Chain A
Amino acid sequence: MTAIIRYVTWAVIAALVIFMAWYYVWTGGFAGQTRLSIGGPFTLTTDEGKRLSNEDLKGKPFAIYFGFTYCPDVCPTTLVELTETIETLGPDADKLRYLFVSVDPERDTPEQLKLYLSSFDEHFTGLTGTAEEIAEAAKAYRVYYERVEQDDDYTMNHSALIYLMDGNGKFMDVIPYGAEPDERLQKIRKLIGSG
């Protein structure tokens, strides 16, 4: 009888240890550390040709998305959806910044970004830079991107998440691709509240 209790106890402890190890790996560390791990320093060039760093963003929360202008589907869809959210927010929309960072600096010059973003809400700021600057920003945000060759052309695979950062550049939340309008609005309202 006591042997059974002992076995069960050990089994429970083993299960707990396995669960905790899995949880640690899954969350990329414990909660506090996870929050710190997204976001960080970067310096890029805006679609107006000006330099912008994470330091310049302090004091105002922001939504940041990585994409490219030759993107046929997710990028325009995401920008249209965010445009809808911005319109719903009305004057509150000004309490946030909306950044669109190119993962394709070879084709996305500041001029190309400015032209492209003219089709969406005026709140968007396009950001590009050298390949190294983009790589640094993407690394800070744990953004994955890769160039895919296509005969004489190429396209980009990339993360399709909108990162929501508070006024101190601290990670707050993400909006996944395909999120419902209500989810986008609620998360952005909450972000505005944090600022």
Chain B
Amino acid sequence: MFETLRRSTLTLAAVAALMVPTAYAAEYKVGDLTIAHSWTRATPAGAKTAGGFAKITNNGTEADRLIGGSADKAGKVEVHEMAVVDNIMKMRELENGLEIKPGETVELKPGSYHLMFMGLEGSYKEGETVKGTVTFEKAGTVEVEFKVKAIGAKMEQHGSDMRNMTHKVELQ
């Protein structure tokens, strides 16, 4: 009896341990919007900027706009677009925000749309979590956590993302 109990406890503990990584695949909801996979990158020493990335899905019937946010240690957060055109890196602020159409998922990622963390005081270290918010024109503001990956990390290269993807598949 005790043996069985002990075993099942162990099994439960093992299952719980397996579930821990999936806790990182947090999804945040505000109104009809879902924010998944929010992450940022470790910053080089002395760097004053960082990018915030996420997948934003609009499950509603009306378009909304990502207009800003906030992040620990950042003086200001803006919505930016980066593009390399003819070998020139160009950045611009999306003054009117980024439209998220109904039924669509927009991915903020390196080399594309991103939240621009400006005026950083201190740095982000790999493995940390940065607390912040994202703000939409209609849905309002929601608290999110940005997981800090390596300097120069690209989403698809990281094992943890594979895990998150698996997790997603399991959910469906």
Which residues of A are in contact with B by a Cβ distance under 8 Å?
Answer: 69-74, 76-81, 112, 115-120, 144, 148, 150, 153, 155, 157-161, 176-178
Contacts and interface: CB of A to CB of B under 8 A. Distances in A.
B82 interface: yes
Most buried by B among A72, A119, A120: A72
A144 to B, nearest CB: 5
B44 A73 contact: no
Most buried by B among A69, A78, A117, A155: A155
B44 A77 contact: no
A116 B47 contact: yes
Given A72-B51, A150-B93, A160-B89, A177 B84 contact: yes
Does more than half of chain A's interface fall in helix, strand or loop, or is it mixed?
mixed
Contacts of B165: none
Given A76-B152, A80-B151, A118-B45, A144 B88 contact: yes
A178 to B, nearest CB: 7
A184 B99 CA distance: 36
Given A73-B51, A74-B82, A119-B47, 6 more contacts: A70-B48, A74-B89, A78-B152, A79-B152, A159-B89, A177-B89
B49 A72 contact: yes
B114 interface: yes
A193 to B, nearest CB: 25
A146 B29 CA distance: 39
A17 B162 CA distance: 54
Given A70-B49, A73-B114, A150-B93, A158 B88 contact: yes
Nearest to B109: A73
Interface string B18-53: 000000000000000000000001011111111100
A120 B44 contact: yes
B118 interface: yes
Nearest to A177: B84
B46 A77 contact: no
29 contacts: A69-B46, A71-B89, A72-B51, A72-B117, A73-B89, A73-B110, A73-B111, A76-B41, A76-B47, A76-B151, A77-B154, A78-B152, A81-B152, A116-B44, A118-B45, A119-B45, A144-B88, A153-B76, A153-B119, A155-B49, A157-B88, A157-B90, A157-B91, A158-B88, A159-B89, A177-B84, A177-B87, A177-B89, A178-B84
B92 interface: yes
A76 B111 CA distance: 12
A113 B82 CA distance: 23
Given A73-B111, A77-B110, A119 B89 contact: no
